[in-house]
Amino acid sequence: MNKHQHEILIIGAGIAGLSAALEACYGGEVAVISKVFPIRSHSVAAQGGTAAALGNMEEDHWEWHFYDTVKGSDFLGDQDAQAIFCYDAIKMAYYLEHLGVPFSRNENGKILQRYFGGHYSQFGQGPPVRRACVAADRIGQAMLHTLFGECLRRKIKFYNEFLVTHLLFHKDGCCGCIAWDLVKGEIHIFHAKLILLATGGYARLFQFSTNSAINTGDGLGMILNAGLPLEDLEFIQFHPTGLYPWGFLMSEAVRGEGGYLLNQAGERFMERYAPTKMELAPRDVVARAIQMEIELSGNPYVYLDLRHLSEDFIQERLPQVKEMAFKFAGINIKKELIPVAPAAHYTMGGIPVNIDGEVLADGKKEAMPGLFAAGECACISIHGANRLGTNSTMECAVFGHRAGKKMASLVKKTNYLPLPKEQISLALEEINHLFVQPPKISIAELRQQLQVSMMQNCGILRDQSRLKKQLIIIQDLKEVYKKIGLKGIPRTFNLAFEEVWELRNMLNIAEAVVISALAREESRGAHYRIDFPKRDDKNWLKHTLIWKKEDKLNLDYKPVVITQFPPSERFF
Amino acid sequence: MQKKFIIQRFCPEKDKIPYWQIYEIDCQEDWTVLDALEAIRAFDPTLTYRRVCRHGVCGSCAMNINGFNSLACETRIASLPKNIKIRPLPGFPIIRDLVVDLERLYQNYTVIKPYLIASSPPEKEYIQSLEERHLLDGFYECLLCGACTSACPTFWVNQNFLGPGIFLQACRFILDSRDKGFNLRKEILRKSDIWRCHGILNCVEACPKGLNPFQAIMHLRKILLFGGKR
């Protein structure tokens, strides 16, 4: 058995994990575990920019960003966290720039900022402001590579291509984890004082998604298995325009620059759904409109039309979209229409944490000693029911940084707790069991059944009957899963093992998502119920908590933190 | 669209040397090579490769397809002949099937100090002119996928040669107006075997992002010979 001891252990090496590592290392010794090589993390795919009210282009204030984030969240975000986020984002943008992020520049040599959906001045009353800090259309790669380089400078220890399978708990707190070395096919035990989960979101639950193959919610799955709560899982953002049939992101900028949406009959159908804002209505509104057109026509996509834009203009403003449409779909966007459909993009729900990233054992107040979470896997909650574009990369940086700082301050006062022998042997049994059963069930088929059915029954448009149906489907799939085996498949770089483990997490999370969505009888942000089409602040201005006890999922709720902006109706 | 995939297989637990395995599958018109590999994996879970983002931004799925180092996720099946021969990136030790050990590439990356070397930053951002920022274009986009380095015969035979991708990365930091580590970086390059590049230009052909590592090598050589950052 391979054993390791590290004072601070970070699981996940995206923007959140690396930001945390860079702060935590001031207080103690840090190791990072990642199931891929760090710069392959999904953060690398972020395009548009990262939010901070720098005011480099015109007047802007963090308070305006704060209001936009609150309204964007459909008033389900916690305003204490949202205020900290918008205030800290400014410092964090400068910090990232100092580390070397190759931001694009404006005429004055400052960080270039661009317009993005939902960024306004004067507390939503004034004209749009340019708040998204830009590195061409590669903000994720620019941030991730820079943070990784800095980690190399500080000689932070990395365990690459290690899949964490179990968290380990002593009665007094979290004390370690078990990980599977994908390359060698061996089990490793990690003993730590403090652990941070930065394992990303779960939008891979859906067949049609902008997400990397690895976004399977591993951290959330482990939290659920540990009997700890998850928060607001029902809120899943669909980006309106994913390139059909893969789901690759066709940036919002396409519509910003004058692209149209057309249905199968060639109509600009948005005039029926959002007559004044048309294609530039908020993401949830456009995604729903597209989905309705898809269900009406029976054709799985609508079209983006850029044919009326000049060649030079497209080359200057939308080179990446042009390249992707050509590379993947073989489409010349000057002459042909781009097939698009809404794609699962971002998961607002996650592990409940306080503003320092401490995981809340009861989902409300009480922190679980030794355990932290940050980034998309965490729910602080700043995005509430709907996330504004460019707030996600900055969330990872701001709250990764805060959690790292908190861990640095705690680590010397914290002792190693004894490792739980019984949990370890149960976990090893679970893993070994997979290598005893023969491989009779197709992993890919099972995963596809889950993803397709989630898309159909728990996607953009939801209702009671479809959600109930989906719950039964998931329970059936969980039964099938029990028959999965890997006997005879060599252990060296056994990709099938990784997929089996991810699928286990996906099935568990999917069940929790559906139960949370079934219970919330209202429509708010990304959660839209056909049978309850109105937002219901009287009954549902609250966060969902869900946790597993003796194999049964239980629901509870907690109030939304409102400090400054009382809920009001959203008009578009 | 029926295609024949001839894929190099190797598992250290049971094979002494790599061998070819043939899969004939029906591909859809719009598939990429990665889509086809996923389809094969659906019935043969023993086939192994790396894949993460699926759309050409992470660099995980670099492999050799019909003789060219490419990203599987952005190579369209329709652009390939009926027989598609896939093997791992050459020049790196094979871990299993199409998965190679990139440790040497990653080690070389740390050698060039891939971070900004600067002291006491300003209160807000560093001021960098449009012109200064423009110098980074064509350098900072590197995904570190290894395609160029794997195509480089000098890298195959010379253990000290850092490789085209790594020289490109070194250039990215030297050209950054915010970086003050010029002398240190020059020393590192002096000790590297940068003069061993024979200008074969395989690296330029291999880069899936259209970058030009050879240009970076030429630039670094110019610096070493004549001084100056640019």
Mutation target to probe the B interface, by most B beta carbons within 10 A, among A246, A345, A442 is A246
Closest approach of chain B CAs to the CA of A271, in angstroms?
Answer: 32
Q: Side chain identity at B34, as an amino acid letter?
A: L
* Closest alpha carbon within chain A to B12: A492
Contact A149 B179 (CB under 8 A): no
Q: Give residues 342 to 401 of A whose Cβ lies within 8 Å of B.
A: none
Out of B47, B49, B140, closest to residue A142 by CB: B140
Out of B42, B59, B116, closest to residue A40 by CB: B59
Beta strands at B99-100 and B94-96: parallel, antiparallel or unpaired: antiparallel
Give B-chain residues touching A140 at CB under 8 angstroms: 57
Contact A330 B42 (CB under 8 A): no
Contact B49 A107 (CB under 8 A): no
Give A-chain residues touching B116 at CB under 8 angstroms: 98-100, 146, 149
Mean pLDDT of B94-122: 97
Distances in Å between the Cα of A205 and the Cα atoms of A210, A499, A508, B71 are 11, 13, 10, 25
Q: What is the dihedral of CA A433, A434, A440, A443, to 10 degrees?
A: 150
In whole angstroms, how large is the CA radius of gyration of chain B?
20
Q: Give residues 140 to 169 of B whose Cβ lies within 8 Å of A.
A: 140-141, 143-144
Give B-chain residues touching A324 at CB under 8 angstroms: 55-56
Give A-chain residues touching B49 at CB under 8 angstroms: 495
Mutation target to probe the A interface, by most A beta carbons within 10 A, among B50, B101, B125 is B125
Spell out the long-range contacts of B107-112 with Cβ–Cβ below 8 A and sequence spacing 24 or more.
Answer: B108/B162, B108/B163, B108/B166, B109/A152, B109/B144, B109/B166, B109/B169, B110/A152, B111/B162, B111/B166, B111/B188, B111/B192, B112/B162, B112/B166, B112/B167, B112/B169, B112/B170, B112/B173, B112/B185, B112/B188, B112/B189
A128: β partners: A120
Determine the Cα–Cα distance for residues A493 and A504; give it in Å rounded to an integer: 19
A439 to chain B, any CB pair closer than 8 A? The answer is: yes
* Start-to-end Cα distance in chain A: 59
Q: How buried is residue A365: exposed, middle or buried, by Cβ count under 10 Å (0-12/13-18/19+)?
A: exposed
Determine the Cα–Cα distance for residues B213 and B168; give it in Å rounded to an integer: 5
* Closest alpha carbon within chain A to B130: A105
Distances in Å between the Cα of A500 and the Cα atoms of A105, A171, A554 are 45, 29, 25
Determine the Cα–Cα distance for residues B65 and B75; give it in Å rounded to an integer: 9
Can you give the pLDDT at residue A436?
Answer: 95
CB atoms within 10 A of CB A551: 5
Out of B42, B124, B133, closest to residue A104 by CB: B133
Determine the Cα–Cα distance for residues A549 and A543; give it in Å rounded to an integer: 19
Per-residue pLDDT of chain A (572 residues; tens, 9 = 90+): 799 999 999 999 999 999 999 999 999 999 999 999 999 999 999 988 999 999 999 999 999 999 999 999 999 999 999 999 999 999 999 999 999 999 999 999 999 998 888 889 999 888 889 999 999 888 999 999 999 999 999 999 999 999 999 999 999 999 999 999 999 999 999 999 999 999 999 999 999 999 999 999 999 999 999 999 999 999 999 999 999 988 998 888 778 778 889 999 999 999 999 887 788 777 888 899 999 999 899 999 999 999 998 888 777 667 777 888 888 888 999 999 999 999 999 999 999 999 999 999 999 999 999 999 999 999 999 999 999 889 999 999 999 999 999 999 999 999 999 999 999 999 999 999 999 999 999 999 999 999 999 999 999 999 999 999 999 999 999 999 999 999 999 999 999 999 999 999 999 999 999 999 999 999 999 999 999 999 999 999 999 999 999 989 999 999 999 999 999 987 66
Out of A245, A491, A494, closest to residue B30 by CB: A245
Give B-chain residues touching A105 at CB under 8 angstroms: 128-130, 132-133
> What are A487's two structure tokens?
């006997």
Out of B55, B114, B124, closest to residue A248 by CB: B55
Q: Is B47 helix (H, G, I), strand (E, B) or coil?
A: coil
Q: Among all chains, which residue has been given the structure tokens 């900022």?
A: A113
Under 8 Å between Cβ of A140 and A44? yes
Under 8 Å between Cβ of A231 and A351? yes
Q: How many CA atoms lie within 13 Å of B13's alpha carbon, on the beta-carbon side?
A: 12
* Start-to-end Cα distance in chain B: 51
Under 8 Å between Cβ of A297 and A264? yes
Q: CA-based diameter of chain B, in Å?
A: 61
Determine the Cα–Cα distance for residues A156 and A21; give it in Å rounded to an integer: 8
Q: How many CA atoms lie within 13 Å of A121's alpha carbon, on the beta-carbon side?
A: 12
Give A-chain residues touching B51 at CB under 8 angstroms: 213
Determine the Cα–Cα distance for residues A335 and B7; give it in Å rounded to an integer: 37
B58 to chain A, any CB pair closer than 8 A? The answer is: yes
> What are A246's two structure tokens?
């893969």
ipTM of this complex > 0.95?
yes
C-alpha angle with apex A114: A108 to A120, nearest 5 degrees? Answer: 115
A313 to chain B, any CB pair closer than 8 A? The answer is: no
Q: Side chain identity at A384, as an amino acid letter?
A: G
A111 to chain B, any CB pair closer than 8 A? The answer is: yes
Can you give the pLDDT at residue A316?
Answer: 63
Catalytic residues of A: 283
Q: Side chain identity at A156, as an amino acid letter?
A: I
A31: β partners: A9, A157
Can you give the pLDDT at residue A304?
Answer: 94
> What are B184's two structure tokens?
């240190």
A138 to chain B, any CB pair closer than 8 A? The answer is: yes
Note the residue count of chain B.
Answer: 230
Edge to edge, the sheet with strand B19-26 lists B19-26, B2-9, B83-87, B62-65, B68-71
Give B-chain residues touching A145 at CB under 8 angstroms: 114, 140
